[in-house]
Structure 1
């Protein structure tokens, strides 16, 4: 194996040296050339440098564009703009990348320069990839691939196949991704070249990793690192390393995973490969956490969080600039089309005037001119009809979109009506009772004995009102994405005790006995506030549906790396129909059942519990039988406490 790697290393160095010699030869003779020959050599130098040295490539690309413009050489202008579009893409200036690539494409179409059309389509596909518009990106790359096949151009063909495979893998279509990646490898073998072989291997490895084929994925990634390609980038190697480390970790070899991930981390930090560092931090945090090294896991998780915030801010800014640039280009194109239409109309008027002039002077030409004019109008009418059909199809698509929006609006209106029903009935009654009692007390129509007789009912209703309002506010914030989940080690015992103190009065009124069978000194990964809302709702429900003098059990047990917390009551239970609705429906405002003491609810509590437990990475399950009670189990990751402490997470650039 070592001899194999050494062989490929020398071969790779030989290819690199050969490319460098060719570059040096072009640079040495470019100054001695003039005109069209010089601009061709400048474009070739830019193309060879754009994957090696972006700064130097940009210098030669600008020279090529200026010279091509002065010579009015459309083909050279298109190729210069295509090279600069790719350089702007590589440097993250997406709005300029779009403008230059689109100009290059339009010029190439006009000049029928098929190779530049294919290259520009790859540029545009890469930009749509960064917008996560994978269907449009795939469309561009497939067009480029078809042109590459027609031209019998391996570079274009293989590059397009790899990009198609990458986009399919990002959109979750793994079988399609695997097909195109293998086709890229087949084309490499067929042409006797090594263009982007490593890239193809990486996509195949991603598919294998996604399908949990760990041994195959490891072998593929290691092969991708050893394959000789037409260029080698440290950023690409870093992207392989963090994938390989993750595969070893999933396989159970944490030691090997840490060794590889730390190597990827060093490369990423030295070269400031932010996107690769992000994935490396994430995977390191997971590996260290699985080993119980909480300090190291925490360090890497914090590094991941900081870098993710920085990247998200940069991506949002760049994407907004790209969208703005695309909008301006489309707006300019629309204005140009309008001006062209006006010019066309004026030309028609001029032609009509000349036609009538010829009709007056030459009889024979009158008939011929009339026939030509009618033929022209017929062709124009056909074009207008085609355009009208296209517009009709667009209207139909918009109609379907509006119908979908209408359905969503209808669902939201029903949801709104249900909430208003809650606000109008379930919340109004306790407030009205409290208002009445306060009025009686203010008017001194209620003595102490009478107040004591109703105070427990009043407190129960006010406590219920508080819980209802808190649930509605929490649910509303979750629907509007008004908060973020912050997982941390939480002492669940303290959370249970806080909830019991809040619900003590409800349990006391029903003379309930609460049995606690919990494990002290164990912490779980959760959000403190969300966990309290979940446990409070579940205990409140257990009290609500328990009969007087009954028992509520709260017990916990450890299972592997998890802590399972169970709340059980022996009250009225649920029907199987309602239990299935709770288990299967993603969200629904259930009609709240009355408690054994006629307590009211909103139907939101169970939805909150399901949603918040899912946000915290936990699991919730329900068991219930009519008149025998209900058992709810919560499963959370247990905080592993060992000697050391750990931590928890690039957008891959297109080729």
Structure 2
């Protein structure tokens, strides 16, 4: 069974830069890189350091090792006024951050490089910056905007007849045109890129461009005369880059399935599986496993289809874990970048201070300054060093605190993933099972209707859980700023009562709103709505049919107290003591509803962001009351 052409494949082939592992890359360029690094470390002038450093990062551009040298290259270029190398290194550092999936950070660097290049009227660097910005817009599915950037970049490269820039430009523009349904134009521009690379004799880039053309032709349903170019990239990859070899095998599997050569497709799939064991490439192997699973499933080969399904699920979990790891590593890099910049400025200050001390000492020796003046200057310098040491110690403590905070975020992340794995997976598995039963005509209409209320309740619970998880995660990772406004509290409560009366939490309870209709409060409306909804949902979870749930308000001198009371099952003193703590605490509801305790933790945080406090009162069998305060405006 042939799958439709995935746009994401173009993204991976064209823009996933680290296609050469540094191990194999180092084997090819290690001696040159070592030589450049040695010469840079022993260079005397900033000009020589900049030239050597820029050449070094160009050689090891595909390696993570390059990242630590880019900031120094950018600083030296700015200091010396070499705006071409400054823009060039900003663009390359942006590529590194883009590959770490820090797209906004990459975009800032591209835009900074563009401004510098435009100020200095450098068409080549302007073109490269526009190309890179076009890639980011392509990632965001803003194809029209992406195409506009590529067209402008093309005009700049044509202005100075820069063939290399045009080859990259046409290679990037081709998938954008394909995404816009302009396949004929996409084919024309990729052929232009191929012609340029043939003229320049760039074998590796030529193989990639021809492979991209084959992928484009396959997406158009044209399978003739594409196998040779795919095989050429495959043979190149076997020798130099097994990641690309697996890319090529993925398209060979797809091509042979489309043309009915099943045995050849199976052979290529098995070879890809073996290569994947040597040099993992989850993106392509997942596509191959999906195709093989569908093939055996359609042929009724249950054993093989189950085997590939198991491999597929395992690989997806590996890919998910790897992306999470890269994302957290990216966040760490982003934090450390700011710290490194601050420490670099501190180091420059200390170096400047040391030079100043040397000059003073020399001047004292030459001019025979009095001992009193010498001691005075030395004492001031000593005090300054003590001050600097204290500041460095404070910086160290701050970094350690940030490391502890990152560890805390990792622990909270693990809790969130545990919730996702256990509390979200079950209803989705039930829904998937029902869909399979329906597809196989194994579920009667009566059975189908009997499952609907259960699925509706489970999916409704998960909708609330997901909303809480997303808001809580954003709060933990980036922080949330309160946006205060004045609004009617009665209407806010009434809207949420109306909404929840039609949800899976409703069991014919009596919901009553005793908030005075005239009460206007100043708070963050979105945050307060989440708090009200969580407290009402919690009350509905632990009550039965005809139990009463009320929302009321008491007015004090400087604040309001809002309460949500229920006639539910209540809780013990031990249960009360665990609420609003650092751990997720929950119990099953009257209909065995599951929860995570995240809603109450989130409510506590949001109430505190609105300058209030939250607490609970309860007795077993007598219901519960949750209260929170809001300051008067």
Could you say which TM-score interval applies, normalised by the shorter chain?
0.3 to 0.5
Give the structure-2-normalised TM-score.
0.45
Q: TM-score scaled by structure 1?
A: 0.44
Higher Cα Rg: structure 1 or 2? 1
With CA pairs under 8 Å and 6+ residues apart, which has the higher RCO, 1 or 2?
1
